[in-house]
Amino acid sequence: MQEQIRKFLDFLTVEQGYSENTIAAYRNDLSQFARFLAGMEPPITSWAEVKKDNIVNYILHLKEREYTSSTVARKVAAIKSFFHFLLAEGIIEDDPTATLDSPKVKKRLPRALSHDLVNRLLAEAGKHSTPKGQRDKALLELLYATGMRVSELVLLNIDDVNLASANVRCFGKGAKERIIPIYDRAVQALEEYLQKGRPRLMKDPNEKALFLNHRGKRLTRQGLWLIIKHYAEEVGMGSEVTPHTLRHSFATHMLSGGAGLREVQKLLGHANISTTQVYTHVNSERLREVYDESHPRAK
């Protein structure tokens, strides 16, 4: 059964251009499902043996183990995609997921920071003139300037940044390239890091990564998250900040500042505008707050 999983992952990598992180998630989800099937009585040892009831029982198993609804939905989506592939490849004759309903997930609105909180976070990073401090200031400014995903930012190379034109090139999901403009303060922070901070962090002159860790290697997603968490805790808002908080804040602030939905969609690298539309709901909530605070009859 693992052989079919491997072929599917190869297909996603080569044909669909999925990222390493997405491939890893599919691998974990499908391997977990395969272990569940192997542990049944009698065990299921072929994908052709899988029935819809087996998948329903697996969903119940996940819920009993208190997986979140979004995690269960993701795992079911992976299983559906896998069986669609097996059917297309002629490995199975019937798709057991054909009439399987996807678990419903309550959409949570993304958490965006206020302008003041963003400024406090960026100011805290700017207090330190060490190489790491210069790096941290540059990467936080860049996250807020571009709305990039954390996974996109850590993959940036030096030649992806054009300070003269004040823009950065990044590769999103499906290796799709987009060019994002950046504001002057982000340019200045990057200039200082590239001129002073990065040379002192660098161990290998051939290293192309833009952001380096203390070993002179490419900063990882986990390393970046620890940096964000550190500064968030320093300004007393540790629980309010996640790896995507600055991305959410970027989108919300752009829309509230007058940017169009299509423009924000392009900047964020969303394939579908419906994904971007969630930020209009965030603005609606903020509008309600302002109304309640400001209207004399609402007080």
Cite the active site residues: 149, 173, 244, 247, 270, 279
CA angle 126, 197, 19 (to 5 degrees): 90
8 A C-beta contact, residue 168 and residue 161 = yes
3-state secondary structure of 2: helix
Residue with tokens 């002179």: 216
Other C-beta atoms closer than 10 Å to the C-beta of 91 total 16
Q: Is 98 helix (H, G, I), strand (E, B) or coil?
A: coil
Alpha carbon distance 130, 271 (integer Å): 39
Q: What gap in Å lies between CA 235 and CA 285, rounded to an integer?
A: 25
Q: Evaluate the CA torsion angle 213, 219, 223, 226 in order and state its sign.
A: positive
Six-digit token pair at 257? 């500042």
| Angle, CA of 9, 15 and 18, to the nearest 5° | 60
Structure tokens at 243: 């790896």
DSSP 111: P
Beta strands in the chain (DSSP E): 161-162, 167-171, 177-181
Token pair listed for 108: 């949570």
